Amino acid sequence: MVMRLSDNGGVPVSKQARKAAGLTKPKALSKPAPPRNPVVSLGSGMAGRGYTPTQNGRNFTYTPPKPAAPKPAPAPSPAPSYSGGSLATSATGTVAQPVPVPEPPPAPEPPKPPSDEDWWKSDDAFIAEQGSLKNNLDRALANLTQQRSSYDTDLISTLKNLGWTWGGGSPSGIEGFEQGSWDPNNMLGAYGQGVYNLNNDFAARGLLDSSFFNDATNNFNTDMNNQFSGLVSNRNQFLNARTSDEETANSTYQNALKQAKAESLARRAAQFGVL
């Protein structure tokens, strides 16, 4: 018989006595089982879906597969970098040639202003003003020409009446009249009539060979020559005055034209920004 110390003071008690007295030794506490994945009884058909079968007597339990850890999201591709040479990307590992940046188109050049002469030819206002000024000048010059012509026509008539000849008959114009002379045989002219009357007067008195006749003849010729010289002088004064009038008309035209051109160039400056 096996004897053990009792729990009540060390008196030996047999195993049977302890059992009868209810003094059995308490069982040692078992360690807790480690946690397991939940077991689901789903039947044998789940084995093909990744479940792990576990037999428990006649039954099978199936443990579902552990969920796969989520794949990390791919890191974003870095932006391409450009350092002036080739362009590389970390996503593809390829090297791309840089695309040249197109230069902006050049700004259109401002319209080139026309030259002075070309502008005046195209400026309607200047063309009209120039035409008006030219018409005024032409009228003034034509009037002066008409005055000269009228004067010379009157002078030719006066010289004919005085008996002046151009040396070959009646003149067709004023040119060369100063190289002419008095015609004593022209009875239609004052000179011829004067010579005829003078001769008859002194002949009737028998004084043709006298000094009186010579003095009378010289005085008559001087008087006629003075008339001719007066006519020439008057004509020269008239022509000089008309020449001055012509110069004034031309100067007036040129000054007005210069002003019109300046006003035209001012219009070009307003349009193109240049004088």
Q: What is the mean pLDDT of residues 166-195?
A: 84
Give the Å distances, CA to CA, from 16 to 8, 11, 20, 50, 131.
Answer: 16, 14, 6, 54, 159
Q: Is residue 176 assigned to a domain? A: no
Task: Quickly state the pLDDT bin for 6 (edges 50, 70, 90).
Answer: very low
Percentage helix, strand, coil for the chain under 3-state DSSP, each rounded to 5: 50, 10, 40
Residue with more model confidence, 33 or 147: 147
Q: CA angle, corner 166, sides to 165 and 171, nearest 5?
A: 100
- For residue 207, give the DSSP letter: -
pLDDT at 101: 83
Q: Is the predicted pLDDT of residue 4 greater than 70, yes or no?
A: no
% pLDDT > 70, the chain: 68
Give me the domain span that covers residue 230: 182-268
Choose among 143, 152, 120: nearest CA to 249: 143
Q: Is residue 127 assigned to a domain? A: no
Span of 119-133, 155-169, 245-259 with lowest mean pLDDT: 155-169
In the chain, how many domains are there? 1
pLDDT at 273: 79
Model-wide pTM > 0.85: no
Q: Is residue 250 assigned to a domain? A: yes
Q: Is residue 215 assigned to a domain? A: yes
pLDDT at 2: 43
What contacts 91, CB < 8 A, 6 or more positions away? 77, 78
Q: Is the predicted pLDDT of residue 57 greater than 90, yes or no?
A: no
Q: Is residue 137 assigned to a domain? A: no
Q: Is residue 24 assigned to a domain? A: no
Q: Is residue 36 assigned to a domain? A: no
Residue with more model confidence, 3 or 114: 114
Q: What is the mean pLDDT of residues 158-183?
A: 81
Q: Is residue 128 assigned to a domain? A: no
